[in-house]
Amino acid sequence: MEGEFVLDTHVVRAFVSDVEQAIAGSSSPEAACDAIRPRFSELLADPDWLPAAFQADAPESGMGGGIGQWLLYRAGDGSLSLFSLVVPAGSQTPIHDHLAWGLVGLYRGTQDEEIYAYMDGELVPSERRALGPGDFYALIPPQDDIHRVRTTSATASVSIHLLTNDTGCIWRHAYDLATGDVTPFRSGYANVDCPDQS
Ligand SMILES: [Fe+2]
pLDDT per residue over 156-178, tens digit each? 999 999 999 999 999 999 999 99
Burial of 32 by CB count in 10 Å (0-12 exposed, 13-18 middle, 19+ buried)?
Answer: buried
Q: Give the distance (Å) from ligand 1 centre to CA of residue 139.
A: 10
Q: Give the distance (Å) from ligand 1 centre to CA of residue 145.
A: 8
Q: Give the distance (Å) from ligand 1 centre to CA of residue 177.
A: 16
Burial of 101 by CB count in 10 Å (0-12 exposed, 13-18 middle, 19+ buried)?
Answer: buried
Burial of 149 by CB count in 10 Å (0-12 exposed, 13-18 middle, 19+ buried)?
Answer: buried
pLDDT at 198 over 70: no
Q: Give the distance (Å) from ligand 1 centre to CA of residue 95.
A: 8
CB 152 within 8 A of CB 112: yes
The model's pTM is: 0.96
pLDDT per residue over 37-54, tens digit each? 999 999 999 999 999 999
